[in-house]
Amino acid sequence: MLKKTVFTVLSFTIILTAVFTADIFAQKSKDLAVMTMPLDDFTLPVYGDGDFKLSDARGKNVMMVFPRGKYSAEGWCGICMYQYVELVDAELQLKLKEKYNLEVLFVMPFDVKTIDKWFEDIPGELKEYYSWKDKDLTNASEGEKRWGEWVKTHLKSIVYEKGKIPQPFKLLVDDKFVLAKRLDIYKAEWGGAKIDQYQPTIILLDTKGNVIFKYMSQHTIDRPSADYLVKIMDKFIK
């Protein structure tokens, strides 16, 4: 009788645990960008005017770009700025939105005034990055040499004047990190930097809203180039 009681209690506990775990998994999977599954709906303000609701983009492929933002209170993520102008350049050259029936969204970890300042500072920040292409690194440290070589290898010299940077994509305002926290890409510390930021992420959705590609950065310099993203879209967008 005792063995039967113990067995019954254990069975009931296992069932409850399984149900609880399944419920938690189902809830969490709705919040995350899970491959082949639809991304749950959201609404965010658009920089400039209005709101964007994801479900309103059904029928289009959607690329969501989450730039890191800052690496310190005063330090912009310059590679994020380059990522933006490189995709802008690709749009102007290749007409990505038309070619792939594509909505490109940059989800920004800033309020509107900070985005204004971000655009204002892009030319100066990128000028400093590009300057590494011409530096004499003969007597530089090993870290400086690696950085200089990385810039020469990976960064095109895409230049825009202050106030003349095109904005062909929607920029969404997520300064409270509502969407970023839901997707689990908000970080209070990442890459050695203690500041509110995103773990750099790119999510590609098909016309039904299903996740068909997802990238999450392990390091600030490992982000896929615009050329690579074009190859991804050629492969996954039908």
Cβ neighbours of residue 137 under 8 Å, at least 6 residues apart? Answer: 144, 145, 148
108 φ, ψ (degrees, to nearest 5): -100, 135
Q: Residue 25 has what pLDDT?
A: 46
Q: What is the pTM of this model?
A: 0.86
199 pLDDT higher than 70: yes
CATH fold of 34-236 reads Glutaredoxin (3.40.30)
Mean pLDDT of 17-41: 68
**pLDDT tens string 141-171:** 999 999 999 999 999 999 999 999 999 999 9
Helix (H) or strand (E) holding 87: helix 78-94
23 pLDDT higher than 90: no
Name the nearest CA neighbour of 69 among 57, 80, 82, 83.
80
**pLDDT tens string 38-52:** 999 999 999 999 999
Q: Domain map of the chain by residue range?
A: 1-31, 34-236
Name the nearest CA neighbour of 76 among 118, 34, 44, 41.
118
**pLDDT tens string 64-76:** 999 999 999 989 9
Tell me the Cα Rg of the chain.
22
Q: Residue 5 has what pLDDT?
A: 54
> What are the b/e assignments for 155-190, b being 16+ CB within 10 Å?
beeeeeeeeebeeebbbbbbbebebbebbebbbeeb
**pLDDT tens string 103-126:** 999 999 999 999 999 999 999 999
